[in-house]
Amino acid sequence: MEDVQSTPAEVPIDIDRVGVKNLRLPLVVRDRAREHQHTVAEVDLGADLPASSKGTHMSRLVEALSAWKETLDYQTLKSLLIDVRSRLAAQRAYVVFRFPYFMEKHAPSTKIPGLMSYECRLTGEIGPESERPSFLLEVDVPVMTVCPCSLAICNQTAAHSQRAIVTIACRFHGFVWLEDLVEIAEDAASAPVYSLLKREDEKVVTEQAFANPAFVEDVVRAAAHTLESHPQIRWFRVEVHSQESIHDHDAYASIEKVVRP
């Protein structure tokens, strides 16, 4: 049977990335409180393609993922990338896992537990003849912010508040807990958000937020300051996206920095 993919391309241009997107599979990730947790991931897989080939062999990517273990850690992700590179005879291979990560949070007054879901992404890439892949870890953390300007002009009696999303992306040495990144984001904001609050809890959260008003600039600086001191992080990007409650626009701020080589 003719291998059409291996025939010459009509337009001989190298392709940086070609592959498959949105494959779904069960996933096991490390959990600081319970050692491991089970979740579900959407996965993108791909590789580069030289100008001499018309197409890649998409089925080999699906085969590589089907043969892969469901536990996400350094060694298993490294083996997946090497397998993809080998199956496609490529120079470079990449994979992206997108998954919800769940953390149990207790309401601040009643201590009632509730599950919070945080959207996470882990990207892995490996280059030609390299045995050391690079990884990018990202997490979106919802928080609450109170506008300092609004609070000041209302004589400390009222202010507009809103939900904001703190997105932290980092490259690191060793291992970084997702819980660390969530806590950094929440500590930088006016207050965290919760999945379950009774009235006495709402009072505590609201009072905390109004006692700690913060612009997006304040939140992004506070998060960046803490990320700089994290011993495993060597590069980070943090962005705060505020879903404004009284404006017909959103507000954002972003900081990106190399911490250590």
**Does domain 13-132 match CATH 3.10.270.10?**
yes
The pLDDT tens digits of the residues spanning 13-31 come to 999 999 999 999 999 999 9
Residue 54 C-alpha from the chain's centroid: 34
User: Is residue 50's pLDDT more than 80?
Assistant: yes
Question: How is the chain split into domains, by residue range?
Answer: 13-132, 139-261
Distance separating alpha carbons of residues 154 and 40, to the nearest angstrom: 46
Task: Report pTM.
Answer: 0.91
pLDDT digits (tens, 9 = 90+) for 176-198: 999 999 999 999 999 999 999 99
| Coil, strand or helix at 206 | helix
Check pLDDT > 90 for residue 238.
yes
> Which burial class, exposed, middle or buried, applies to 10 when counting CB atoms under 10 A from its CB (0-12, 13-18, 19+)?
exposed
Average per-residue pLDDT for the chain: 92
Q: Is the pLDDT of residue 158 over 80?
A: no
Query: Which of 1, 9, 91, 7 shows the shortest CA–CA distance to 46?
Result: 91
Residue 2 pLDDT > 60: no
At 67 the three-state DSSP class reads coil
CATH classification number, 139-261, choose in 3.10.270.10, 3.40.50.740, 3.40.50.300, 3.30.70.80: 3.10.270.10
